[in-house]
Amino acid sequence: MKRVGVLALQGAVREHAQSIEACGAEAVLVKWPSDLEDLDALILPGGESTTMRRLVDRYGLLGPLRAFAKSGKPMFGTCAGLILLAKEIVGYPEPHLGVMDIKVERNSFGRQADSFETPLSVKGMEAPFEAVFIRAPHIVSAGSGVEILGEHDGKIVMARSRQFLVCSFHPELTDDHRITAYFLSMISSQTDISLPKRSVYSKV
Ligand code: GLN
């Protein structure tokens, strides 16, 4: 069974764990560096990125989280989790983990109500996803290796780059587990990338 961690310092932790289990994987709550051992993938939930960063430092998790990213295992950042993964945050001198090639702006939908729900069309998904936005960030710009998976109001709200998946909204707050299932599917595709395909040899 796939073991998927949820950073459990603050924010929407339980809902992510439920969504992981609804998809048939084991959810592991991560609070200490040793909790990262033997995970196949990790979710950084929504909440408040500055508070979460303070707790990451307090629990000695910054280095271990960066090492986890370096190991190539899939990581999924939702809302504040997206901010934690970004290489650049508008108005801030330093990123947090700084591992995904995106520039993000916090609290981007301020002129609308703080929270809203909207059907979002996600690349590769037939039916729209009911996306819940809560004081959400958006992706201002992205490097060439980043695939845009969703936009709302002309703003990028979902993207993937190699093992990193991010969205501005909260997929775990609905009963629709398609995005969690998509993330879990990245676990096996990562393995595929590291194993040369047989066709490579057959050409030689
Ligand atoms: N506004 C929050 C932040 O900047 C993110 C909100 C959320 O995760 N729902 O960290």
Question: Which of these, 11, 74, 87, 88, lies nearest to 43 by C-alpha position?
Answer: 74
Residue reference for tokens 């998904």: 125
pLDDT at 114: 83
Rounded Cα–Cα distance for residues 137 and 126 (Å) = 25
Mean pLDDT value across residues 112-124: 90
Report the C-alpha gap between 14 and 26 in whole angstroms.
13
- Is 79 annotated in the active site? yes
Mean pLDDT (whole number) for 164-190 = 93
Which residues have any ligand 1 atom within 6 Å of their CB?
46-49, 79-80, 83, 106-107, 134-135, 137
191 has pLDDT over 70:
no
pLDDT at position 130 is 98
Helices (H), the chain: 13-22, 49-58, 62-70, 80-85, 178-194, 198-203
The pLDDT, as a whole number, for residue 202 is: 36
Please indicate whether residue 109 or residue 173 has the higher confidence score (pLDDT).
173
pLDDT band of residue 1 (cuts 50, 70, 90) is: very high
Q: Which of 9, 10, 43, 49 to mutate to test the pocket of ligand 1 (most atoms within 8 A of CB)?
A: 49
The residue whose C-alpha atom lies closest to atom 2 belonging to ligand 1 is 48
Distance CA 2, CA 5 (A): 10
- Residue 200 pLDDT: 40
**CATH 3.40.50.1100 describes domain 3-185:** no
Any long-range contacts for 184-188 (C-beta under 8 Å, 24+ apart)? Answer: 184/2, 184/4, 184/20, 184/23, 184/25, 184/41, 186/41, 186/74, 187/2, 187/4, 187/40, 187/41, 187/73, 187/74
Question: Of 96, 152, 172, 177, which is the active-site residue?
Answer: 172
Mean pLDDT of 126-144: 97
Across the chain, what does the average pLDDT equal? 92
Residue 8 has pLDDT above 60, yes or no: yes
Q: What is the pLDDT of residues 39-58, one digit of tens each?
A: 999 999 999 999 999 999 99
- Could you give phi then psi for residue 9, rounded to 5 degrees? -95, -30
Q: What mean pLDDT is predicted for residues 168-184? A: 97
How confident is the model at residue 4, as a pLDDT? 98
Q: Which residues does residue 160 pair with via DSSP β-bridges, in sequence order?
A: 147, 165
Task: For residue 197, name the pLDDT band (cuts at 50, 70, 90).
Answer: very low
Which residue is catalytic, options 15, 23, 79, 177?
79
Question: Measuring CA to CA, how many Å separate 111 from each of 79, 130, 140, 186, 188?
Answer: 18, 20, 17, 35, 40
pTM: 0.91
- Rounded Cα distance between 147 and 95, Å, is 21
User: Where residue 112 falls among pLDDT bands split at 50, 70, 90?
Assistant: low
Q: Is the pLDDT of residue 67 over 80?
A: yes
Q: Is the pLDDT at 196 greater than 60, yes or no?
A: no
Q: Are 147 and 120 in contact (CB under 8 A)?
A: no
Q: What percent of the chain has a predicted confidence (pLDDT) above 70?
A: 91
- Reported as a single tens digit per residue, the pLDDT across 88-99 is 999 999 999 999
